[in-house]
Amino acid sequence: MKSIAPDFYLLPTLLLSERLLGKIFVTWQGPGTPLLKGRIVETEAYLAEQDEASHAWRGRTQRNRAMFGPPGTLYVYFSYGCHYLANIVSEPVGSAGAVLLRAMEPVEGIAEMERRRGTRELLSLMSGPGKLTQALGIGPEHDAQSLSGPKCWLEDAPELPASCIGTSPRIGITRSTALPWRKFVKGSPHVSKTRGATGPKKGRNLLEC
DNA sequence: GCGATGATGAACT
DNA sequence: GTTCATCATCGCA
């Protein structure tokens, strides 16, 4: 499977958030370490403008400077004093739109992911934005890194049919909550679990993809 | 199965 | 001092 060309990221943020679904995110810590791969099954778009929930809403700061970098750059930041969250910067250049990676399906290097996460529950390895960064070993050293490698990159995969992509409001935010900018692969058991009014109910609405 | 809570740091008011 | 794009654990049913 080949690495995705840099111009793939030259897309409006909302469109990129859908196209990223199904792609394989890869990290590599260096010689002697296994490749860690996950299939992206859930994303959220954070736009440069008209989006109060975006870190870029109030302009450029020391923390969010990577959001203003070129498309295909990673923006990694520390949240709630405990977790790193990873975003992929989109087009247009300098406008600070980015896509938050919320959940993946483990693909390769699972034993190493289990060690990093401290669990062998496959469905708990990467089913949340803080979990997947821990499983993949993403930290502050990945902030502002390019997805052209060598520490991390994306492998291409066939584009998902629109019928497999679900949409909902974003999770865990307190502003601009009504915007339906969360995208996920319908039927995947690896999407993040929301608290409260959910839980896999019997009548699964979702198709297998 | 469910809701409440603490950990812990950086940005913001 | 408060807020926050989170997670694991605890107590209760």
- Taking only the tens place, the pLDDT of each residue in A94-147 is 689 999 999 999 999 999 999 999 999 999 999 999 999 999 999 999 999 999
How many CA atoms within 13 Å lie on the side-chain side of A91?
Answer: 10
Share of chain A above pLDDT 90, in %: 85
CA distance A162 to A159: 9
- Domains, chain A, with CATH or none: 6-159 (3.10.300.10)
This prediction has a pTM of: 0.93
Structure tokens at A27: 């990290």
Is the CB of residue A82 inside 7 Å of nucleic acid strand C?
Answer: yes
How far apart CA A157 and CA A175 sit, in angstroms, is: 33
Instruction: Measuring from the CA of residue A100 to each C1' atom, give the nucleotide at the shortest distance.
Output: C5
A10 close to A42: Cβ distance less than 8 angstroms = no
Q: Is the CB of A142 under 7 A from strand C?
A: no
What's the CA–C1' distance between A199 and B1, in Å? 9
Give strand letter and number of the nucleotide nearest A130 (CA to C1'). Answer: C6
